[in-house]
Amino acid sequence: MSEQPGPQDPPGPDQPKPPELSGIDLARQALVAAKEQARARGAAAQQKKQARRGGGLRSGARADGRDPLPLGAAINRLITERGWETPAAVGGVMGRWPQLVGAEVAQHCEPQKYDEDARVLTVQCDSTAWATQLRLLAPTLVARLNEDLGHGSVKIIKVLGPGGPPRRYGSLRAPGSKGPGDTYG
């Protein structure tokens, strides 16, 4: 079948004889074979141990993806994976409001909510004068917020005036009454 002589075939007249191995060469060959057998036994033993322990990789001395993360890094990764960058940044603006608008404005105007879809920040002021002032400052404030949060994060600032007392219905009221259902006792 095969025309080339195999390792068991005796050498032909035109092929040279392989050199006879001396003691050192035989020892080297035996060492290489023993190392290969030990490596194979070690790999088989390691596979058996992993199968008994439930398989899978184990954490070692070097860092990998299964190691615990610091809390800040884990939260940043979660925010990035879920796409919460803008809401988290706006939440940071709510916390840093006095630094962004100044102490005097922050004393009289407070951010209430942020609509992510419309990109509208709603701010409530404690007087109509401050509401008017904030409406005049709104374009500058939008530019400052977009500089801090990223372009286009806030398009409009909706300014609300102060909330008044609850509306009283009717001209006659009993002192201390709480509303229309409070007629008896």
- Which ranges of 59-157 does DSSP label H, i.e. alpha helix? 71-82, 85-95, 97-101, 103-108, 128-149
Token look-up 């990223």 returns 150
Q: Which residue has the higher pLDDT, 64 or 36?
A: 36
> Alpha-carbon distance 48 to 52, whole Å?
6
Arithmetic mean of pLDDT, 11-19: 61
Express each pLDDT in 81-90 by its tens digit: 888 777 777 7
In this structure, what token pair is assigned to residue 12? 């032909």
Confidence tier at 136 by pLDDT (50, 70, 90): very high
Q: Under DSSP, is residue 90 helix (H, G, I), strand (E, B) or coil? A: helix
Which residue, chain included where needed, has tokens 């919460």?
A: 84
Q: Which of 90, 80, 73 is nearest to 150 (CA)?
A: 90
The single-letter DSSP state of residue 24 is: H
Q: What is the pLDDT of residue 183?
A: 47
Per-residue burial over 63-74, b if 16 or more Cβ lie within 10 Å, else e, is eeeeeeeeeeee
Distances 17 to 8, 9, 13, 14, 30 between C-alpha atoms, Å: 13, 12, 9, 10, 21
Task: Dump pLDDT digits (tens) for 80-122.
Answer: 888 877 777 777 777 788 888 888 888 988 888 888 788 888 9
Q: How far is Cα 157 from Cα 135, in angstroms, rounded to an integer?
A: 8
Per this entry, what is the length of the chain?
Answer: 185
Cβ-contact 128, 163 below 8 angstroms: no
